[in-house]
Chain A
């Protein structure tokens, strides 16, 4: 969802900043409030100060709406991926229970900020946070993420910040209505299957229309009828007469493979009720809305971290912040951008905050104080105005291309990056590149690929449907680097079959076009719950 969450590592309770006595009229009024307790007045003053600095740096943001919430509400929001409102589903309850349990036991700190990509941009401030943390969240979320949401091309093209909340309300009401009409179980079944398939319910290449609530509502009924008539048309033909079976087999449907499985189901599943199609559509639309987030995790976090650091330091330089504030702030900041090395037991891969922040900072360094190496690698940035360079990077890239474009040799050296090949046919792992002259380009390419969502998700497409036969659906999985599907596949096919209403097959195809493995799921009506 249009939200970003960050965890305060457990056990790192922010220390209160030492209260500072007010010294004289003029200087005291310039200083921002200190102490660990926040107040509405103090938050307003911090927001004003941060907004002013952000404006001076040229950050372009949506209007900001700061909302104070309790920890329980934060857990609510956390459970529903930050959606301020949404339809009801057990999985959100599950996440809530899990979060609550871990929070109560002290195993995790709560996400201390959630920000919603909407207009106005909503940022949650948790009441338990200290004043310093609130200021950090305001700078990070309400100005950092906010400007990214507004500026980055993926968000600009694929999401409409003005209407998302309205659409979520529409979805919630529509599903509540469905539950009344068709029962909770029936709706839950469809939702379960749709949630499972939401990763393959996305248009990756063709840009969908932006959500518009008014249009959705006015057209929804119309669409129901139209869709149903289309489906009826496709399936109208009675099962083919035995006379001409070959001829029937010739016709291919769909004419081109379709990458968006949920879209295909919504349009063509033979036995679906109109309301079920609408539910599929809702899940699909919301998943689509999330898609830019997944593609810009590194950039988005890096950008926000860079700006909270820059903005608060600017305020400190103007003597508006106390030393105590800065110490508490820096402690949180370093926690967030810490990258444990591979040798540490708590290493869980690359920390997107660390990588993103490192790259953003590095970009500024390259622009401001380039070395000869930088001039060679980044001739068009070196020596340029750093704000322009950063702004350009923020607007026009996603993680994959951002890394491919801007990861500098110096940062690779600083992070001691190396790449490892894990080939199941080999008994050992192979170090393919390290942070040296030979390895830079290779490392950069591998890291970029690693952040390419298209490489992470398996490539599964609708291959064919036997329109004249048993109506079975065949999916094809185009294997990337011979990677098979995980053991969830059979279960996934059951979900597909539940929506499709007939048998479903899946074939895995390797790079040379051979079918490596097949899965099948027979649809049995009787087993429907």
Chain B
């Protein structure tokens, strides 16, 4: 007699370790594939999974095998027309009846392809990036949990029993179960009284009623005072508790001097930052400020989509940013980050003002400020002013010039690289 064993309950995910080993071993390869994908796909599409293909030869498990060449003789089924001595042209590409078949049993030479989920893909992408100087409190992604009440449940530990709730339920249940019986009892007791009061008591009926009354009473008596069914427990759930809050200001020049191409680059730059933030920090707020001669706070959609024309006054955006910080994001509670994209054009007189605003008002409140200038020409006055700032706030103020789409990513890496250099 055979043993029959149900193994389904145990040993799930037995391959998890081996799968991890696989990912670990080809980590470099996978990262390469991810980086290649980032280079080639539009940043707006970055938020999705990726097919990673690893060249078969890298992943192959080689053995000593016979190669092509030499003499092979092999037997095949399904002969229809051949006679001994027939010659068959050698199949192209080695398929069909060619040699080497004995060893190459269907082992394709294709690349090994597997899917990285969106999560995994972005994990690799953001792997060694982190907002620098997140020193006030811990990283937002390391969640703290706070236990809060969330109503009642029907099971739990004895310590969590809610007595009032449980007893309330018990009373209800007792009433519900007992009331039909009680009504019946009442009726019968009345009849009994009537019969007993009668001049000639019908003893037979009276005894019968007494028995019935007794039975009903004991049934009512047997209804439990407290049933496990009544028990209610206080329910407590774990609610993620943000331990660090960060706000990111995105400043972009949408003036006439920013042409489509530059805007596009800037947009991609912000998209990347925004993605990074929304990905890594649950409690990051993002403020979008666009400006020409005037600045306004807009939502994400408008920020990236709308078209404006006009001159450029960078300080208007900085002023607005400052105002918003004062109003909504006290530096004692928020880690504040700034990111600005511009073509470097500015009213000549405005640039020193920008520098002053940043140095005196904004930078003291900020963790980090990043500026990208999308320009091919010589740096203009804004850049030169910012250079002073970069010198002054050495590890908290970063500036970069980019010219082409494919330079965004390195710039991004440069700005947000997880290095000690950025520490205070």
Contact = CB atoms under 8 A, between A and B. Distances in A.
Nearest to B114: A97
Given A90-B18, A482-B69, A68 B8 contact: yes
A379 interface: no
Nearest to B17: A88
Contact of A96 (B6, B18, B69, B96): B18
A200 interface: yes
A342 B63 CA distance: 28
Interface string B4-45: 111110011111011111111110000000000000000000
A139 B289 CA distance: 73
A482 B67 CA distance: 10
A492 B60 CA distance: 11
A112 B70 CA distance: 38
Interface string A69-86: 110110110011000000
A135 interface: no
B105 A348 contact: yes
A495 interface: yes
Given A68-B6, A88-B17, A94-B112, A483 B88 contact: no
Contact of A429 (B1, B22, B87): B87
A431 B83 contact: yes
A417 B77 contact: yes
Contact of A417 (B21, B59, B76): B76
A416 B75 CA distance: 10
B305 interface: no
B73 A44 contact: no
B61 interface: yes
Contact of B7 (A67, A75, A196): A67
Interface in A117-134: 120, 124, 127
Contact of A127 (B8, B19, B84): B8
B3 interface: yes
A488 B64 contact: yes
A458 B64 contact: yes
Given A88-B21, A430-B85, A457-B64, A65 B75 contact: no
Contact count band on A? 35 or more
B71 interface: yes
Interface residues of B: mostly helix, strand, loop or mixed? loop
Interface in A167-223: 184, 188, 192, 195-200
B12 A443 contact: no
A194 to B, nearest CB: 11
A101 B114 contact: yes
Given A450-B74, A492-B62, A422 B98 contact: yes
Nearest to B13: A72
Contact of B62 (A64, A69, A495): A495
A257 to B, nearest CB: 16
A376 interface: no
B66 interface: yes
A93 B70 contact: no
A481 B6 contact: no
A469 B11 CA distance: 52
A449 B1 CA distance: 41
Nearest to A138: B2
A79 B8 contact: no
Contacts of B106: 348
Contacts of A195: 61
Interface stretch (A263-271, A325-333, A433-441): A433-441
Contacts of A198: 63
Interface string A404-448: 000000000001111111111001111111111011000100110
B97 A482 contact: no
B183 to A, nearest CB: 47
Contact of A93 (B18, B76, B84, B96): B18
A182 to B, nearest CB: 16
B151 interface: no
A79 B22 CA distance: 12
Among A73, A93, A354, A424, residue most surrounded by chain B Cβ atoms (within 10 Å): A93
B18 A88 contact: yes
A446 B75 contact: yes
B18 A342 contact: no
B327 interface: no
A339 interface: yes
B22 to A, nearest CB: 3
A285 to B, nearest CB: 18
Nearest to A40: B4
A481 B69 CA distance: 9
Nearest to A433: B84
A481 B76 contact: no
A106 interface: no
Contacts of A90: 18, 21-22, 24-26
B393 to A, nearest CB: 42
A158 interface: no
Contacts of A229: none
A47 interface: yes
Nearest to B103: A456
Contacts of A109: none
A69 B7 contact: yes
A75 B15 CA distance: 9
A483 B4 contact: no
A195 to B, nearest CB: 6
A64 B2 contact: yes
Contact of A432 (B3, B84, B96, B97): B84
A428 B79 CA distance: 18
B69 A419 contact: no
Contacts of A483: 66-67, 69-72
B99 interface: yes
A415 B75 CA distance: 11
Interface string A327-371: 000000000000111111001111000100000000000000000
A419 B75 contact: yes
B64 A51 contact: no
Among A339, A429, A436, residue most surrounded by chain B Cβ atoms (within 10 Å): A429
Given A420-B76, A483-B70, A492-B64, 13 more contacts: A196-B63, A199-B63, A418-B82, A422-B71, A424-B68, A431-B84, A434-B83, A434-B84, A446-B74, A450-B75, A458-B66, A483-B69, A486-B66
19 contacts: A66-B3, A68-B6, A89-B18, A92-B21, A96-B22, A127-B8, A188-B21, A188-B25, A197-B63, A339-B77, A418-B75, A430-B86, A434-B82, A434-B83, A443-B75, A458-B64, A460-B64, A480-B70, A486-B68
Interface of A: 40, 43-44, 47-48, 51, 63-70, 72-73, 75-76, 79-80, 88-94, 96-98, 101, 120, 124, 127, 142, 184, 188, 192, 195-200, 339-344, 347-350, 354, 415-424, 427-436, 438-439, 443, 446-447, 449-450, 455-458, 460, 477, 479-489, 491-492, 495
Interface of B: 1-8, 11-15, 17-26, 59-80, 82-90, 96-99, 101-103, 105-106, 112-115
CB-CB nearest 4 A-B residue pairs? A341-B78, A93-B22, A483-B70, A93-B18
